[in-house]
């Protein structure tokens, strides 16, 4: 999966987890459009705009039902945007530490 598709998957994960709570939520359509027209950078700008925009009601609604939010998934999306390894690295080797040094 390429970087843009992985970033879009994060957004869609939040959307799928909360669409039943927010009628008429256009997150999926807008994110797909941002990615289609602006690529990875367009999707990142859209994501950041959602965080600073009128997302308080959305965040409160999702958190109240213990769902993922754009805020809770920001680190995951940004690690993909920056091209870093996935956030969860349990069981991967630390560079320069030999074959027995595993990340706890």
Confirm whether 44 is domain-assigned.
yes
Could you count the other beta carbons within 10 Å of the beta carbon of residue 18?
20
b/e 49-58 (16+ beta carbons within 10 angstroms → b): ebeeeebeeb
Q: What is the pLDDT of residues 72-97, one digit of tens each?
A: 999 999 999 998 655 554 444 545 54
Confirm whether 9 is domain-assigned.
yes
The total number of structural domains that make up the chain: 1
pTM for the whole structure: 0.75
Residue 26 belongs to domain spanning: 3-81
Segments of the chain scoring below 70 in pLDDT: 54, 84-104
Confirm whether 86 is domain-assigned.
no
Helix (H, G, I), strand (E, B) or coil at 11: helix
Confirm whether 63 is domain-assigned.
yes
Cα separation, 42 vs 31, in Å, equals: 9
Confirm whether 68 is domain-assigned.
yes
Confirm whether 61 is domain-assigned.
yes
């Amino acid at each position: 999966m390429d970087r843009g598709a992985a970033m879009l998957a994060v957004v869609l994960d939040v959307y799928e987890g909360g669409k039943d709570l927010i009628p008429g939520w256009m997150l999926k359509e807008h994110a797909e459009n941002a990615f289609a027209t602006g690529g990875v950078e367009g999707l990142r700008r859209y994501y950041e705009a959602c965080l600073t925009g009128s997302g308080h009601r959305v965040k409160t609604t999702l958190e109240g039902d213990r769902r993922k939010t754009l805020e809770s998934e920001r680190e995951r999306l940004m690690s993909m945007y920056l091209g870093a390894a996935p956030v969860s690295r349990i069981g991967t080797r630390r560079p320069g530490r030999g074959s027995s040094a595993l990340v706890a």
